[in-house]
């Protein structure tokens, strides 16, 4: 880490300045490399974050930029992917998109572990077609709906922490992307896996689940506990 910090000395402007000055499709490999080198900058208020940013942050409403494939195998980019994975593990999330840690680039990761599944009642797992997904990074993903059947099921997002809602999603999608090694991958995701992929893909388009949710099902996940302790409860924006 110390070595990385020594190597990565060039700073980038905040993402909102980047998005105004640099059109996503015209950003050169050179500029992208410079931007990447900043990611371990010492300024703790600047992206890339070690926490997950919350709705209201303009980065969550930005169309994410494509990643130049040439940069994927560089040490700096691999370190960035490692960081995304670390944050995702820390939050015990089943998916995380780069904009959620302040970086408006077209990258997301998904992983559903045995431990995730164990924490969910069997009836719910079966009803929603939940299955294990090995950790996988998707870079510059494109999505194609392969089954237009719409399922309306509860969803949460670490960027809208403390709330849930029923969200309509297509039952099956095909996602094509580059992997963390820069290889092309195509995956047909079904059921809950398809839901996770669509949720993360939406983050790269500047969308969050509240944009398409059934508004009447929008719930504070702690509403009952809040009554139980007469409002004396705190919502933390990092894991316990
Ligand atoms: Zn989310």
pLDDT given for residue 46 in this prediction: 72
- Rounded to the nearest whole angstrom, what is the distance from the C-alpha of residue 161 to the centroid of ligand 1? 9
- Rounded to the nearest whole angstrom, what is the distance from the C-alpha of residue 157 to the centroid of ligand 1? 4
Whether 56 shows a pLDDT value over 80: the answer reads yes
CATH classification (class only), 51-228: alpha beta
pLDDT given for residue 11 in this prediction: 28
pLDDT given for residue 132 in this prediction: 96
**Which residue is catalytic, options 155, 158, 180, 200?**
200
> Tens digit of pLDDT for each residue in 105-134?
999 999 999 999 999 999 989 988 899 999
175 membership: H or E segment, kind and range:
strand 163-178
- Rounded to the nearest whole angstrom, what is the distance from the C-alpha of residue 66 to the centroid of ligand 1? 19
pLDDT given for residue 221 in this prediction: 96
Report residue 240 CA to chain centroid gap: 20
pLDDT (mean) for 81-101 = 97
pLDDT given for residue 32 in this prediction: 58
Would you list the domain boundaries of the chain? 51-228
Mode of pairing for the β-strands spanning 133-156 and 95-97: unpaired
Cα dist from 94 to 64, 199, 215, 224, whole Å: 20, 11, 24, 25
Whether 157 shows a pLDDT value over 50: the answer reads yes
pLDDT (mean) for 41-47 = 65
Structure tokens at 237: 């924006």
pLDDT given for residue 35 in this prediction: 61
Structure tokens at 137: 């990074």
pLDDT given for residue 30 in this prediction: 58
User: Could you give the CA distance from residue 94 to residue 150 in angstroms, rounded to a whole number?
Assistant: 21
User: Could you give the CA distance from residue 159 to residue 237 in angstroms, rounded to a whole number?
Assistant: 9
- Rounded to the nearest whole angstrom, what is the distance from the C-alpha of residue 229 to the centroid of ligand 1? 28
Are the C-beta atoms of residues 96 and 137 closer than 8 Å to each other?
Answer: no
CB atoms within 10 A of CB 187: 17
Rounded to 5 degrees, φ, ψ at 49 are -90, 160
Farthest-apart Cα atoms in the chain, separation: 55
Check residue 210 and report its DSSP letter. Answer: G
pLDDT given for residue 41 in this prediction: 56
pLDDT given for residue 240 in this prediction: 83
pTM higher than 0.75: yes
- Rounded to the nearest whole angstrom, what is the distance from the C-alpha of residue 126 to the centroid of ligand 1? 23
Indicate the range of 2-16, 133-147, 201-215 predicted with least confidence: 2-16
Q: Is 68 known to be catalytic?
A: no
């Amino acid at each position: 880490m110390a070595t990385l910090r020594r190597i990565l000395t060039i700073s980038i402007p905040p993402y909102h300045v980047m998005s105004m000055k640099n059109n996503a499709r015209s950003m050169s490999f050179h500029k992208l490399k410079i931007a990447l080198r900043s990611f371990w900058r010492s300024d703790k208020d600047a992206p890339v974050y070690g926490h997950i940013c919350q709705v209201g942050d303009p980065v969550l409403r930005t169309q994410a930029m494509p990643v130049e494939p040439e940069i994927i195998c560089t040490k700096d980019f691999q370190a960035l992917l490692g960081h995304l994975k670390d944050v995702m593990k820390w939050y015990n999330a089943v998916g995380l998109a780069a904009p959620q840690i302040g970086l408006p680039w077209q990258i997301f990761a998904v992983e559903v572990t045995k431990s995730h599944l164990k924490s969910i009642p069997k009836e719910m797992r079966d009803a929603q077609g939940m299955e294990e997904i090995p950790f996988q990074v998707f870079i510059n993903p494109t999505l194609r709906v392969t089954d237009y059947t719409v399922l309306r099921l509860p969803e949460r997002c670490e960027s809208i922490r403390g709330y849930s809602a029923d969200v309509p999603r297509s039952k099956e999608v095909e996602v094509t992307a580059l992997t963390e090694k820069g290889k092309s991958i195509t995956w047909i995701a079904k059921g809950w896996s398809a839901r996770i992929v669509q949720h993360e893909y939406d983050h790269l388009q500047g969308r969050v689940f509240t944009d398409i949710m059934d508004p009447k099902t929008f719930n504070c996940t702690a509403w009952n506990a809040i009554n139980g302790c007469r409002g004396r409860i705190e919502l933390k924006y990092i894991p316990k």
